[in-house]
Structures are given as C-alpha cells and as structure tokens.
Amino acid sequence: MVAFSTRAIHNGEEPDFREGASGDVAVPIHLATTFARLKAGAPTAGYEYTRSLNPTRKALEEKLAALEGAKYGLAFSSGLAAASTLIISLLKTGDNVIGFDDLYGGTRRLLSNVFVNFGISTTYVDATVASNIGKAITPQSKLIWIETPTNPLLKIADIRAIAKIAKEHGLILVVDNTFLSPYFQKPLDLGADIVVYSTTKYIGGHSDVLGGSIILNNDDYYQKIAYNQNAVGAVASPFDSYLTIRGAKTLAVRMEQHQKNAFALAEFLQNSPKVKRVLYPGLKDHPGHDIAASQSTGFGGVLSFELEGTLDDAEALLSKLKLFSTAESLGGVESLIEIPAIMTHASVPKEVREQNGISDTLIRVSVGIEDTADLIDDFRQALN
C-alpha cells in the first residue's frame, strides 16, 4: 500500500481511459439523479439512482476508506446524519449505549433527546478511565461511543484498552475520529469496530462543506449501514462529495501545519501570565499525553486555554484578535476561536459546565494553517 498522502491524492480517482471517456485527473461532479440503461434489466455499471449509488460519492467513499486503510467507506450529508444512520442500523428498542461524558454536544443531543424516544438509552461515563466503561455495562449494552481527544477539554480515552473491554463483552466500539482525522489516528488499527467522522471539519478542511462518513472493515455492519444509507437517504450530494474529495487531497500537509501552529500557540500561551492553564494533548503535562502519544502520530490543531479574569476579559480578548474569527466549528484552514460557555456549550447548564471544567474564561481555538509567527504576533498584541 502506498503512503497516506499518495492515497489521499490518487485513491478513488483513477483516470477513466475507456473508449469515449476523457481521462479527467479530478473526478467529475455527476449531478444526474438517474442513469439510463441499454436494457431494462441491466443498470449501467451498477448505477440506478443517485441516492443508491453516485459516481462522485463513490469516489469519495473509496478515498475515505483508503485513508483509513479500511475495506468500506460510506459518505453522508453531515456527521450527525452518519451517526443517526449508524444507530438506526445497529441498534433497536431496549438497547443501551455507553457514551463518553464529554462527547460532542450534537451527538449527545441525538442520543439523549432523539433516540431515547425510540427506547435506546445512553449511559455516560468518564472514559478517560477505561474501567469506568466496564463498570457501566449491563445486559442491554450493545455499543460504546467515544471520542478522543474530546471537545473542548481535549480529554484522552485509551482506544486499545476500551476496544479490549468491548471485545470481552461483545460490544461494538465506535470512535468519532473527527478531531485527529485519519492522518494522525487510525482507530480501526487500535481495535475499534467503526470510525465516524464529521468531514465538515479537517477532512473537508475549508469550512465550506458539511459532511459525514462511516469507515469500517466488518462485512455484516457494512451491509446493514449501507442498506440504511439508501433506505434513510441522508447521503452526501454529488457537489458536496466533490468538495470533500478536493479537501481530502491536502489533508496530510494541512494537518502538519495545523499541528505546528497549535504547538507554537500552546507554548506561547503557557508562558503568558494572563493564562491560567493550557489544554493541548501534545504538551507533556497534559494528563492524557502518554496515551495520546501511544495511539496517535500527532496531537491535532485544537487547543483550549483558561484566561485569568472574567467572561468580559475573554470576550475582550476575542474582539482584539485580528486573524482568529470568533466562530463555532473547527478544522478549516482559517483560525477560529470561541468561548464554549456562551457559544458551543451554552445549552449545557452552568453547574454541569463548571463541574466538568468548562469555566466562563475557557477559550477554544481551532488553529488554522496561516503563518505561525503571524498567529503568535496576533495573540501577543491582543493579550497586551
């Protein structure tokens, strides 16, 4: 198998040299919703209707599977569309999910406010200690859902240890790998059964396309999820598939620069008297550093820090930064900054937030791929 960056560029996009084809080096955007056949009983090259199979989406799915070194990839209209289709496909009424208590808010809302109405319950545990998962397992438990690192506290879960517990109890382990992308972390190689992504973040990488994916090797789970990808219909559109392919080609170089900038900013902030603490798994003093280093080849581009002072000070800092747009989301080429307490995590009750360490002056940064010195200079002037 060729290396990651080579697969990112070539897989799923072999030029078509068949009679009459044009040899495009970039996959075309196949907008047709239906495909004509020469004979009624014989779909042309397997294509019938775009919800079921579309050439541009197929190219994306092949590329995403190749990035993970996996057998199967499936592309959806958003990360949560992927999550919903996964749950519908593998769980039924009466089943229980064990989730990391620091899961992405939208995933938590989906499990706790939507699937609960269909009789699927979720138990949340602090998965930074793998044995907490073992303790939460009941006869109803079917699936474990983790993220690592988490958002915005960058907590680390030990994927290998949790995969071992999942195997022992016959549970399915799902890892949402959005934060590190397949460039830095490959959960299937660490024992996970299924990887999910919001490709809206690093894989798309330019804050201009929403998408999600499911990557796996298991034939049975694949058949069930692929059936529902068509049956439920939350598929990635041809245009969105094209944009995601375009983004994925540069994932390797972008992730390197995101990480370089995140390290530089983390170290700069650690040395500022106006900063109480910096959370970045790449820092040696991060509580999950050793586990992160053992299971991933990098630490990503997201960091959080706690500012000395009040919410007003935090807001003032954001308004003084010129290169960091105040916005939710992450993983794009541009630097973004946000205050979880009043933005992404505003719907979490204040007591719960504070108990979990999300204070009013906790600030999350999605460090972009701009010039490193420019980003540091911007923080220097804003902190002053």
Ligand X SMILES: *Cc1c(COP(=O)(O)O)cnc(C)c1O
Q: Interface with ligand X by CB under 6 A: which residues?
A: 78-80, 104, 106-107, 147, 151, 176, 178-179, 198, 200-201, 210, 212
Q: Which of 201, 254, 353, 364 is catalytic?
A: 201
Would you put residue 283 in left (φ > 0), alpha (ψ -120 to 50) or beta?
beta
Q: At closest approach, how far in Å is the CB of 168 from ligand X?
A: 26
Among residues 277, 330, 338, the alpha carbon closest in space to that of 311 is found at 338
Torsion of Cα atoms, 220 then 169 then 198 then 328, to 10°: 160
Q: At closest approach, how far in Å is the CB of 327 from ligand X?
A: 13
Active site residue 176: yes
Residue with tokens 């040395």: 271
Buried b (16+ CB within 10 A) or exposed e, 330-364: bbbbebbbbbbbeebbeebeeeebeebebbbbbbb
Question: Is 183 or 268 the residue whose CB approaches ligand X more closely?
Answer: 183
Q: Which of 51, 160, 249, 260 is catalytic?
A: 51
Yes or no: say if 191 and 51 are a contact pair by the CB < 8 Å rule: no
Torsion of Cα atoms, 226 then 151 then 241 then 255, to 10°: -120
User: Could you report how far apart the first and last alpha carbons of the chain are, in Å?
Assistant: 50
Yes or no: say if 230 and 20 are a contact pair by the CB < 8 Å rule: no
Q: Which of 47, 72, 104, 280 is catalytic?
A: 104
CA distance 143 to 208: 32
Yes or no: say if 181 and 202 are a contact pair by the CB < 8 Å rule: yes
Q: At closest approach, how far in Å is the CB of 51 from ligand X?
A: 19
Question: Is 80 or 235 the residue whose CB approaches ligand X more closely?
Answer: 80
- What the block records as the tokens of 158 is 């030990």
Q: At closest approach, how far in Å is the CB of 67 from ligand X?
A: 17
Q: At closest approach, how far in Å is the CB of 62 from ligand X?
A: 20
Active site residue 71: no
Question: Is 200 or 261 the residue whose CB approaches ligand X more closely?
Answer: 200
Q: At closest approach, how far in Å is the CB of 258 from ligand X?
A: 14
Question: Is 193 or 378 the residue whose CB approaches ligand X more closely?
Answer: 193
Q: Which residue is nearest to ligand X (CB)?
A: 79
Question: Is 270 or 325 the residue whose CB approaches ligand X more closely?
Answer: 325
Q: Which of 158, 176, 360, 378 is catalytic?
A: 176
Question: Is 70 or 83 the residue whose CB approaches ligand X more closely?
Answer: 83
Question: Is 290 or 328 the residue whose CB approaches ligand X more closely?
Answer: 328
Q: At closest approach, how far in Å is the CB of 197 from ligand X?
A: 8
Active site residue 201: yes
Q: At closest approach, how far in Å is the CB of 363 from ligand X?
A: 17
Question: Is 100 or 268 the residue whose CB approaches ligand X more closely?
Answer: 100
What positions carry a catalytic annotation?
51, 104, 176, 201
